[in-house]
Amino acid sequence: MSTATPETPEPSPRYALEIRGLRKTYAPRGGEAGKEALKGVDLSIPRGSIYGLLGPNGAGKSTLINILAGLVNKTAGTVRIWGFDQDANPRMSRASIGVVPQELHLDPFFTPREAMEIQAGLYGVPPAGRRTEALLRALGLGDKMHVGARSLSGGMKRRLLIGKALAHSPPVLILDEPTAGVDIDLRRQLWDYVRELNEGGVTVILTTHYLEEAEEMCDRIAIINHGEVIADEPKSALMGRLDSKTVTIIPATPLDRLPQTLADRSDVSTILTPAGAVAITYSRNHASLGALLDLVISAGIEIRDVTTAEPSLEGVFLDLIHRDEA
């Protein structure tokens, strides 16, 4: 049994973030009824993971992040960040986390270097222990560290926000829509840097509306809807929730109609594409690719090529949200 206390937790806790029974109810305003934004959220985010926190607009993600950042007071529940209880030790729990907000809030009168130095000073990092210039260079801002923040592009401002969140070397980093409004090349650069951080031991929590990013980056994903966690699983398990698969059969000669033997199958969904190919969506638990190919061949179709598509995170996400709404 661990003998660690909230003031001196284990150096490497099993969970970077533990949330139990987290609730937030906003008080009534302007004649409107109070809103319960979080309804007993439980999450355990493993140390060293890249963890996706997904959900539709209004699901409660921003409220959750603001509670973690100390910007919103919770109504009930417990939060532990890197082993530090947020109520018993708010200073150390706050120092254990860095948050990159969705909004581009920067003081236009400070240079990136000055902004980083101020941020480090706010967290009590002594001058000898600061990594300002190294962080700015790593983020591609080495040649911009002495210019006014107002002259930075949107992508550069986004990178500076990441630098500020890392100024005190937190073991947990929250990225709230970090690539919103940035171009594809910068997005790739940011993700390469996030991977480097993670390989160096930083636990990364990501919220994004770009589900393909979460599918590529995250090893575990939670989905929140209406203030409740409706899924919290390793990505592989979550992706396995949909057993459907689509195979597109490209014939040597484009078809102008589906063969009746394919159109009559009730256990699969078959459509004719505009290019004259046959797209068959089937359950892997009830049909095999080999049997479907045999069926196509028996219909007298000469096959030129075959492509397959696995379920996407977007498909799983939409399926879970729709089920929860039902």
Count CB-CB contacts under 10 A for residue 215.
18
What is the reported pLDDT for 6? Answer: 39
Domain boundary among 239, 270, 287: 239
Domain boundary among 211, 239, 267: 239
How far CA 91 is from CA of 80, 115, 303, in Å, comes to: 12, 21, 65
Is 253 part of a structural domain of the chain?
A: yes
Contact 202, 171 (CB under 8 A): yes
What is the reported pLDDT for 64? Answer: 96
Same domain, 262 and 154: no
Is 10 part of a structural domain of the chain?
A: no
Quote the domain boundaries for residue 160.
15-239
Contact 64, 223 (CB under 8 A): no
Domain boundary among 177, 205, 239: 239
Is 6 part of a structural domain of the chain?
A: no
Tens-level pLDDT at each residue, the chain (326 residues) = 333 333 444 567 899 999 999 999 998 877 677 789 999 999 999 999 999 999 998 899 999 999 999 999 999 999 999 999 999 999 999 999 999 988 888 888 899 999 999 999 999 999 999 999 999 999 989 999 999 888 988 888 989 999 999 999 999 999 998 887 777 888 888 899 999 999 999 999 999 888 888 989 999 999 999 999 999 999 988 887 776 778 899 999 999 988 888 888 777 888 899 999 998 888 777 778 888 888 889 888 999 999 887 777 877 888 788 778 76
**Token pair 């007071």 is at which residue?**
73
Same domain, 125 and 148: yes
Same domain, 235 and 250: no
Same domain, 209 and 68: yes
Is 5 part of a structural domain of the chain?
A: no
Domains in the chain: how many in total? 2
Is 1 part of a structural domain of the chain?
A: no
CATH number for the domain that contains residue 260:
3.30.70.100
Same domain, 216 and 257: no
How far CA 16 is from CA of 39, 242, 298, in Å, comes to: 22, 29, 56
CATH number for the domain that contains residue 230:
3.40.50.300
Q: Which pair of tokens denotes residue 174?
A: 């929250």
Is 326 part of a structural domain of the chain?
A: no
Residue 272 CA to residue 264 CA, distance in Å, equals: 14
Same domain, 218 and 248: no
Give, to the nearest 10 degrees, the angle between helix 112-122 and helix 154-165. Answer: 20
Residue 49 CA to residue 216 CA, distance in Å, equals: 13
Is 320 part of a structural domain of the chain?
A: no
Same domain, 88 and 160: yes
Same domain, 181 and 80: yes
Is 2 part of a structural domain of the chain?
A: no
Strand 220-225 and strand 76-81: pairing? unpaired
Same domain, 178 and 293: no
Same domain, 53 and 74: yes
Same domain, 75 and 112: yes
What is the reported pLDDT for 72? Answer: 94
What is the reported pLDDT for 4? Answer: 39
Q: Is 17 helix (H, G, I), strand (E, B) or coil?
A: strand
Same domain, 132 and 271: no
What is the reported pLDDT for 118? Answer: 95
